[in-house]
Amino acid sequence: MSYLDLIALLDSTFRLGTPLLLACLAGLFSERAGIFDIGLEGKMLAAAMASATVAYFTGSAWVGLGAGIVASVLFALIHGVASITFRGNQLISGVALNFLASGLTVLAAQAIFHQGGRTEALRGAARFNAIELPFTAQIAPVPVIGPLYSTVLSGDSILSYIALLLVPLTWWVLYRTRFGLRLRAVGENPESVDTAGISVIRLRYCAVIITGVLCGLAGAYLATALQAGFGKEMTSGRGYIALAALIFAKWKPWNALGATMLFGFFQALSLRGDIVERVLHFQIPGPFLDALPYILTVIALAGFIGKSVAPKAGGQPYVKER
Amino acid sequence: MTVLKQFLGATATLAISAGAALADPALIYDLGGKFDKSFNEAAYNGAARWVEETGGSYKELEMQSEAQREQALRRLAESGANPIVMTGFAFGDVLNSVAADYPDTTFAIIDMVVDQPNVRSVVFQEEQGSYLVGMMAAEASKTGTVGFIGGMDIPLIRKFACGYAQGVKAANPDAKIIQNMTGTTPAAWNDPVKGAELTKAQISQGADVIYAAAGGTGIGILQAAADEGILSIGVDSNQNYLHPGKVLTSMTKRVDNAVFDIFTSGEDTETGLVVLGLADKGVGYAMDENNAELVSAEMLAPVDEAAAKIASGEIQVHDYMSDNSCPIE
């Protein structure tokens, strides 16, 4: 494999990994607070549809992003009401929301645009266009680092960079702030948090809302940065891959970056059968490479790559007095 | 249970009332959806033209999942619709088993052959149309590398790819062709993000004209090609207008004509196999004001010459589905 092949692969990895990363961080906040969220997929879908629609009518990708976040947070709040306030089963609520999003987005898009559940194509400022990072021209000729910076990092949309910055931010919030400490505690041992006089309910709602915001970013990234509009089921299971990545990452932010980019790398690899063949001198079927992230997750779950332990109170609604 | 009873009662009433009226034709769209800007939309356009010209009405249904196919077919047949047209190869097996139960109803299936006495099977010689757009791709390419991106990996899509490859080689024997399929499940028809990523992957391998035969995924392919400043080729319907000046041409499959003809002849539709190729204007390439500047008269001359030769049988374009192999890799 030549260096240029690797650069092309990494470039693709970064684009494919970004929505996974955003969704994975979204899931991380929710699950760290003890709310399992299988509905990442649905929230992304709702955000993709809302952001594409509003961006089309306002001509501004930023307003679209705002609408995407609002839609996603609404879905997150429904999940919150069902699983926190009414102590319903979190998995069932998540699955239900996925179905709801899958149907509702197509219905709404069809009612508004009459294009078979697709939104009108976005142009110009209605999309997050690629931006050049500073000093790209100066760094590009530098061997090794040059192409890495100018091709892989530079030339993506602003949302990709926001996603990258969210990794240290998430780490800082989780491990260096009082809010983060409480958030983690509420996912491990909500009783102790409650005993300390802090509202478990409010903390969990905060976590669920953050999840909504991040899924909103992920959905808007798909519809207004990678693509120029919403299409039926356009998330294509990325929310579930993000969940797998979250388990693989052991619910830690930096690991999440590694896991999602690794999964993105496999997806990129499955698109470039020619490179795989050149390196290995035999063909690997694309579907096998597509399946690799899931195989890795199963291996991780089986405990081969260290132990992956979920937050202890995950999935259990908190009851104040028994 | 009560709800179910009410529901059944309602459908029964509906069936009786519909049966009394004059039989309307019906059209069932496949999973890609009615307005896929491609295959199903072409079928819709044919039906719309029929409504415009005759003032008639027709029933239509959109598939939402694989499981609905048989139920949808039976419901329409029982409601008295005749003829019933369905788009897409995926109806093949279901129709084969359902058709015999409704001997008085005429069915028509597009893109698949179903051997039943009351079924009209319409298939297109996509390899011929793909051959022509392949020639245009090779002529328009500056790098000598062209791409093909299919939707779901099925023989029908390989047929497109094979015809295209033959056309490319006919116009430029040294050209390189990069082929990719989006996936192996029906989801591959609706993944524009992956389509766009495949497009970028092909561009990094040197492709500067890409032919998309991928349903809804094709929207992402055409978008990515326009974003990256290379040319793309649309499929089924005329997709030139999606990105004016960026779509070289579209391989048109006149599904609209096929639907129009069936609707027009109504219950008297002849059954049996109908093969539409270049000679019947069933396939072709699209020219309009959106791509006029991209295609010069010198480019078109050899293409039209080849079209005439294919129509007369002088050039034989290999059909992938005849032996499940392609002479050009």
Q: What is d(CA A28, CA A255) in angstroms, rounded to the nearest whole number?
A: 11
Give the model's pLDDT for residue B5: 54
Q: What is d(CA A183, CA A19) in angstroms, rounded to the nearest whole number?
A: 24
Give the model's pLDDT for residue B7: 53
Best residue in A234, A240, A269, A288 to probe B by mutation, most B CBs within 10 Å? A234
- Which helix (H) or strand (E) segment holds residue B84: the answer is strand B84-87
CB-based contact A121 B223, cutoff 8 Å: yes
Quick check: A272 contacting B, CB < 8 Å?
A: yes
Q: Looking at the partner chain, which of B184, B200, B242 has a beta carbon nearest the beta carbon of A287?
A: B184
pLDDT in tens, chain B (329 residues): 455 555 555 554 444 444 444 678 999 988 767 777 778 888 999 999 999 999 989 999 888 777 888 998 999 999 988 899 999 888 989 999 999 999 999 999 998 899 999 999 999 999 999 999 999 999 999 999 999 999 999 998 999 999 999 999 999 999 999 999 998 887 788 889 999 999 999 998 999 999 999 988 999 999 999 999 999 999 988 899 999 999 999 999 999 999 999 999 888 888 999 999 998 889 999 999 999 999 999 999 999 999 999 999 999 999 998 888 888 76
CB-based contact B35 A290, cutoff 8 Å: no
CB-based contact A231 B33, cutoff 8 Å: no
Q: What is d(CA A97, CA A91) in angstroms, rounded to the nearest whole number?
A: 10
> Is residue A71 situated within a structural domain?
yes
Spelled out in words, what is the top-level CATH class assigned to the domain B2-125+256-278? alpha beta
The four Cα atoms A39, A44, A47, A48 give a dihedral, to 10 degrees, of: -150
Q: What's the total number of domains in chain A?
A: 1
DSSP A16: H
Say if CB A174 and CB A167 are below 8 A apart: no
Distance (Å) of CA A16 to CA A19, A53, A152, B271: 7, 23, 12, 48
Q: What is the pTM of this model?
A: 0.85
- Cβ contacts (< 8 Å) between A271 and chain B: which residues? 180, 194, 197-198, 201
Burial tier of B27 (Cβ tally within 10 Å: 0-12, 13-18, 19+): buried
Structure tokens that stand for A159 in this block: 């949302």
* Architecture of the domain whose range is B127-252+283-323: 3-Layer(aba) Sandwich (3.40)
Q: Looking at the partner chain, which of A232, A236, A290 has a beta carbon nearest the beta carbon of B33?
A: A232
Give the model's pLDDT for residue A152: 83
Which residues from B are below 8 Å from A when comparing CB atoms?
33-37, 40-41, 178, 180-181, 183-184, 187, 190-194, 196-198, 200-201, 204-205, 216, 219-220, 223, 242
Give the model's pLDDT for residue A283: 79
Instruction: Report chain A's mean pLDDT, rounded to a whole number.
Output: 90
ipTM of model: 0.85
The residue written with tokens 């004016």 in the block is B244
Of B73 and A140, more confident: B73
Of A97 and B32, more confident: A97
Best residue in B193, B223, B246 to probe A by mutation, most A CBs within 10 Å? B193
How many CA atoms are closer than 13 Å to the CA of A71, on its beta-carbon side?
Answer: 31
CB-based contact B201 A115, cutoff 8 Å: no
CATH topology identical between B2-125+256-278 and B127-252+283-323: yes
Q: How far is B13 from chain A (nearest CA, A)?
A: 28
Give the model's pLDDT for residue B64: 76
- Cβ contacts (< 8 Å) between B41 and chain A: which residues? 116
The ranges assigned to domains in chain B are 2-125+256-278, 127-252+283-323
Say if CB B29 and CB B43 are below 8 A apart: yes
DSSP A1: -
**Order of strands, edge to edge, in the sheet holding B107-110?**
B59-62, B26-29, B84-87, B107-110, B119-124, B272-276
Quick check: A283 contacting B, CB < 8 Å?
A: no
- Cβ contacts (< 8 Å) between B198 and chain A: which residues? 271
- Report pLDDT digits (tens) over A28-74: 999 999 999 999 999 999 999 999 999 999 999 999 999 999 999 99
Q: Looking at the partner chain, which of A12, A231, A287 has a beta carbon nearest the beta carbon of B197?
A: A12
Best residue in A5, A106, A235, A271 to probe B by mutation, most B CBs within 10 Å? A271
> Is residue A252 situated within a structural domain?
no
Query: Above 90 in pLDDT, residue A184?
Result: yes
- Report pLDDT digits (tens) over B186-214: 778 888 999 999 999 999 899 999 999 99
Contacting residues for B174 by C-beta, under 8 A, at least 6 apart: B144
> Is residue A250 situated within a structural domain?
no
Q: How far is A259 from chain B (nearest CA, A)?
A: 19
DSSP states of A180-219: HHHHHHHHH-HHHHHHTT--HHHHHHHHHHHHHHHHHHHH
Residue A95: which domain range?
7-235
Best residue in A2, A45, A115 to probe B by mutation, most B CBs within 10 Å? A115
Give the model's pLDDT for residue B9: 52
> Is residue A292 situated within a structural domain?
no
Give the model's pLDDT for residue B1: 47
Q: What is d(CA A263, CA A243) in angstroms, rounded to the nearest whole number?
A: 11
> Is residue A312 situated within a structural domain?
no
CB-based contact A231 B219, cutoff 8 Å: yes
Quick check: A231 contacting B, CB < 8 Å?
A: yes
